[in-house]
Amino acid sequence: MLTKYLSLIKFSHTVFALPFAVIGFFMGSMMLQQNHFDPYLLVKVLLCMVFARSAAMAFNRYLDRDIDRQNPRTKNREIPAGILKEKQVLFFVGINVGLFILTTYFINLLCFLLSPVALLVILGYSYTKRFTAFCHLVLGLGLGLAPVGAYLAVTGSFHFLPVLLGLAVFFWVSGFDIIYALQDEEFDQNHQLKSIPAVLGKKNALLVSRMLHVCSALFLTLFSYQAAEMFSELHWLLYIGFGVFLSMLLYQHTLVSEKDLSRVNLAFFTFNGLASVTFGLFFIADVYLM
């Protein structure tokens, strides 16, 4: 049964935002001038990430169950295929929502008070493609909250630096979600669903994706420069991670064209996952190995 739920929420895709949450956590620790991070707090932050994403992904599957039955690409997902019942998925959503809120309570008061706001964004995303083509930006916002939330968990206060990283994640995720949505352009048009590809077509959608990724690169550049200026612990490894991330960001756009979508999954899953993990690892290595 566990494997069914892990498949439902595509647990492996947690890797997209998780490294940026970890970066936010370590930034908070450095801001407080702690030589050693709190491992128990880190576990609670990671649990929040897992619970929030699991709730969001399962809710999306539940809400889209009728749409998925009609789409040849998604008809084999757990609910349409009868692998999991609707009530089971909805119960799973409720459990993860409750665990997320409970975990924030044990972090600090600010995180607890803001937990409904985070849930509103990540759960509300599932409704957006029914009325706006900007649904990709809502998904980007949900994942962009990761480094900001992790930073708040450590410090209990806001700072512009994790916001810069959050904006980089926001534009990055929004851009690659548009690439992923290229697969459903015709289906979305025929079923009155909104997306950038459905509204603008493949060619223009790819252009919008590139523009969003340019914005992501700009904010990541600004974040990297400001982080290196602010923290003496950071040196050249940060810039290597930055360079690798930008290279993978650029390379994924060579894999997909309006006439060839055969490598969308390679661009979406493989290179975006590698990009986030690499940047996160180099950031942490810069803090502890230099």
CATH class of 2-289: mainly alpha
Question: Domain-by-domain residue ranges, the chain?
Answer: 2-289
Closest by CA to 149, choosing from 177, 120, 95, 107, is: 107
Q: Check residue 98 and give its pLDDT.
A: 98
Q: Check residue 23 and give its pLDDT.
A: 95
Write the pLDDT tens digit of every residue in 243-289: 999 998 888 888 888 888 778 776 667 778 888 999 999 998 888 77
Return d(Cα 69, Cα 89) in angstroms, integer: 16
Q: Check residue 271 and give its pLDDT.
A: 76
Return d(Cα 167, Cα 140) in angstroms, integer: 9
Q: Check residue 13 and give its pLDDT.
A: 65
C-alpha distances in Å from residue 145, one per residue of 27, 119, 124, 216: 15, 11, 14, 15
160: exposed, middle or buried (Cβ count in 10 Å: 0-12, 13-18, 19+): exposed
Q: Check residue 234 and give its pLDDT.
A: 76
Residue numbers of the chain with a pLDDT score lower than 50: none
Residue 28 near residue 150, CB atoms below 8 Å: yes
Write down the pTM of the prediction.
Answer: 0.94
Q: Check residue 192 and give its pLDDT.
A: 92
Q: Check residue 253 and give its pLDDT.
A: 87
Q: Check residue 17 and give its pLDDT.
A: 84
